[in-house]
């Protein structure tokens, strides 16, 4: 976080963003008290929390009550929001609950945002129990005999795919884009304030997403089955190749799915990786919430985990489909995230095309290339420009094709406002606190075994 405070770019932010943007939205809201009760009820259901965790969650509830009662001044401009975000402690310092407390007490979770998050949580957009009666053209369970075996039923795998009512199945010439979420949250809420809002405004892309059961806190090998199936399902019901957009852990899930379900590679024309941890993270954040048990997915995302080593072996650290990866040096969750050692960077041993973009190098000293945290990249204008370029051309995005001038000088993607920045940052954190508490992992304190299909003779 210190990058922002010391960087010369900081004054640029202030001058470029001096216009106040009103916070306000009336979509899908519930009263904030819904979220507070949900947190309280989750706590009641847990017998095993230590006093320290209970005290922290109490602090969070107190902070939320202050927001409801109007005792916390909300940030009112993007400039203020960026300043306050830079004061939020990082997850290794404060833990997930500590980060949530900081967001709430620093005015980054205004009442309308908490209302939105409370409402969104109950929306069907987050369901992993969807009814999807349309069968793909040919059977995809499995699609090819080279694919790894599924351990989940086709019914459960298919139910995780969420098809928005307005989805056109490629009939309008728009390319289907599958959105894949990161650790702790379903796709519905993760992308609500960014790609779900931006994609419908385009004339070339149509969004659809996969909500992974247990919110990607479980074994990533389990989550990857949902991703592999979703890729082939969406391609199968639209008769076309699709684009895939993933955030954070979603990226290693996608890469794992592409590696061990090779049939899925034929279904994907482009993969946009946002804040990916293809090499895990050095930030040893073993337990999202201490003493509730370290969730398998978090253990698997350590820098040298067996999962990461297996994923990267046999050129799994190279793009398997044309891949555009975008990341931010001061990422507070995935580290290192600076070139040439960025965890988000992929090689190109398979020759399908890999474009790696660290935003600070793409727009040096300019707002879009400034301080950007992990989730924040979802609203970054460089991310969006890369998405557009990748989807509109064969192969991955190419920065040299993009007119960077107007892009570098924005802080948020055109079309997004303060609510979207705050929603993107706070919704995922607040929601994942509840999800991590609910998941309440009590299994072994070591990562799950590598499945047989991924064991090489050397292991
Ligand atoms: C999924 O939905 C069906 C009804 O459509 C219901 O019977 C079932 O209990 C639901 N399962 C879960 C896990 O929510
Ligand atoms: C997911 O959560 C359910 C409870 O909701 C549990 O029964 C199941 O074992 C979990 N799956 C994994 C892979 O952790
Ligand atoms: C895909 O192809 C099948 C068989 O040709 C056809 O029945 C179906 O309508 C097509 N779907 C779309 C969305 O084009
Ligand atoms: C997290 O914060 C601590 C204390 O400020 C700092 O030492 C550490 O470098 C930070 N980690 C990341 C990844 O920013």
2 Cβ contact partners less than 8 Å away, ≥ 6 residues apart: none
Assess contact for 404 and 255: CB atoms under 8 A: no
Mean pLDDT of the chain: 88
Instruction: Give Cα 394 distance to the centre of its chain.
Output: 25
Specify the 3-state DSSP secondary structure of 316: coil
Indicate left, alpha or beta for 213 from its phi (over 0: left) and psi (-120 to 50: alpha).
Answer: beta
Render pLDDT for 399-456 as a digit per residue (tens, 0 to 9). Answer: 999 999 999 999 999 999 999 999 999 888 898 888 888 887 777 888 999 999 999 7
- What is the per-residue pLDDT for 49? 65
For ligand 4, the distance from its centroid to the CA atom of residue 346, given in whole angstroms, is: 25
Q: How far is residue 291's CA from residue 433's CA, in Å, rounded to a whole number? A: 14
Return d(Cα 27, Cα 119) in angstroms, integer: 8
pLDDT at 440: 79
Domain boundaries, the chain: 130-284+297-415
142-171 CB burial, b ≥16 within 10 A, e <16: bbeeebbebeeeeebbbbbbbbbeebebbe
Span from the CA of 285 to the centroid of ligand 4 (angstroms)? 12
| CATH architecture of the domain formed by 130-284+297-415 | 3-Layer(aba) Sandwich (3.40)
Rounded CA separation 418/271 (Å): 27
Q: Is 176 in the pocket of ligand 3 (CB under 6 A)?
A: no
pLDDT tens-digit profile of 51-106? 777 888 889 999 999 998 999 999 999 989 988 988 888 877 888 888 899 999 99
Distance CA 450, CA 224 (A): 13
Q: Which of 36-40, 181-185, 244-248 has the lowest mean pLDDT?
A: 36-40
Residue nearest to atom 10 of ligand 4 (CA): 90
Nearest CA to ligand 4 atom 4: 93
Ligand 4 centroid to 371 CA: how many Å?
14
Which of 324, 322, 318 has the alpha carbon at shortest distance from 394?
322
Higher-confidence residue of 7 and 327: namely 327
Pocket test residue of 213, 215, 294, 298 for ligand 2, highest count of atoms within 8 A of CB:
213
At 426, is the secondary structure helix, strand, or coil?
Answer: helix
Cβ(282)–Cβ(426) below 8 Å: no
What's the pLDDT at 32? 67
Count of CA atoms in the C-beta half-sphere (13 A) of 175? 21
Residue 43 CA: distances (Å) to CA of 47, 53, 438, 444: 8, 10, 8, 22
Nearest atom within ligand 4 for CA of residue 90: 1
Q: How far apart are CA 379 and CA 390, in angstroms?
A: 17
CA 198 to chain centre: 16
Alpha carbon distances (Å) from 330 to 99, 104, 247, 338, 376 = 16, 22, 16, 8, 11
- The fraction of the chain above a pLDDT of 90, given in percent, is 68
């Amino acid at each position: 976080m210190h990058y922002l405070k010391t960087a010369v770019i900081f004054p640029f932010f202030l001058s470029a963003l001096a216009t106040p943007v009103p916070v306000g939205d009336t979509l899908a809201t519930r009263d904030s008290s819904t979220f507070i009760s949900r947190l309280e009820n989750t706590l009641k259901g847990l017998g095993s929390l230590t006093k320290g965790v209970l005290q922290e969650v109490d602090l969070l509830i107190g902070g939320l009550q202050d927001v409801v009662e109007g005792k916390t001044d909300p940030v009112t401009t993007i400039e203020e929001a960026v300043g306050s975000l830079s004061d939020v402690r990082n997850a290794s310092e404060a833990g997930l609950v500590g980060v949530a407390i900081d967001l709430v007490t620093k005015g980054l979770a205004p009442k309308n945002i908490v209302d939105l998050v409370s409402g969104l949580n109950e929306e069907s957009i987050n369901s992993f129990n969807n009814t999807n009666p349309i069968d793909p053209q040919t059977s995809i369970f499995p699609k090819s005999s080279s694919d790894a075996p599924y351990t989940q039923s086709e019914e459960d795998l298919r139910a995780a795919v969420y098809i928005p009512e307005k989805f056109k199945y490629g009939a309008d010439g728009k390319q289907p884009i599958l959105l894949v979420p990161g650790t702790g949250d379903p796709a519905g809420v993760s992308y609500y304030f960014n790609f779900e809002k931006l994609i419908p405004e385009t004339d070339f892309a149509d969004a659809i997403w996969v909500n992974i059961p247990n919110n990607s806190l479980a074994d990533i090998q389990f989550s990857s089955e949902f991703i592999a199936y979703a890729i082939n399902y969406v391609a199968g019901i639209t008769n076309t190749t699709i684009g895939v957009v993933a955030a954070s852990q979603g990226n290693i899930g996608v890469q794992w799915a592409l590696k061990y379900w090779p049939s899925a590679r034929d279904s994907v024309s482009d993969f946009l990786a946002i804040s990916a941890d293809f090499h895990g993270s050095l930030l040893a954040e073993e337990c999202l919430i201490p003493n509730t048990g370290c969730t398998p997915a978090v253990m698997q995302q350590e820098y040298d985990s067996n999962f990461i080593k297996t994923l990267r072996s046999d050129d799994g650290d190279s793009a398997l489909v044309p891949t555009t990866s975008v990341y931010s040096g001061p990422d507070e969750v995935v580290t290192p995230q600076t070139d040439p050692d960025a965890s988000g960077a992929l090689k190109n041993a398979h020759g399908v095309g890999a474009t790696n973009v660290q935003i600070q190098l793409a727009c040096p000293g300019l707002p879009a290339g400034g301080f950007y945290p992990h989730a924040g990249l979802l609203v970054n204008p460089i991310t969006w420009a890369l998405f557009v370029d990748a989807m509109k051309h064969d192969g991955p995005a190419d920065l040299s094709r993009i007119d960077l001038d107007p892009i570098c000088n924005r802080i948020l993607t055109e079309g997004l406002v303060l609510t979207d920045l705050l929603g993107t940052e706070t919704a995922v954190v607040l929601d994942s606190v509840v999800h991590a508490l609910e998941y309440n992992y009590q299994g072994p304190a070591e990562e799950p075994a590598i499945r047989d299909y991924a064991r090489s003779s050397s292991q």
